[in-house]
Structure 1
């Protein structure tokens, strides 16, 4: 039986995203929408993701982002 973490990773691997679309959203759309709150929201989002997908060591990072 897979852990919740492994199931979440499997689901994310199914999603394919165009790199241009990703950069467009992250670098243009989000900053325009969030304005001065962009930095705070990106910090919050990163913190939220780290809690949702906890890694036990630095060695797990490359596998997580593959």
Structure 2
């Protein structure tokens, strides 16, 4: 999936610094995730319609 993201998110590739976390576009990440049949079925079943909606189910803010 990372290779696919690198192919479609040129801005993230251009701005990436070695050793740093990749900063892919959330919409592009979700689109790539949805290309996988299993991921798509899980997202449809759980009604995830965006990267933030999906991640928000598993990441809790610690403020």
Q: TM-score per shorter chain, which class?
A: under 0.3
Alignment TM-score, normalising by the size of structure 2: 0.27
Name the structure, 1 or 2, with higher relative contact order (CA <8 Å, separation 6+). Answer: 1
**Structure number having the greater helix percentage:** 1
Which is higher, the Rg of structure 1 or of structure 2?
A: 1
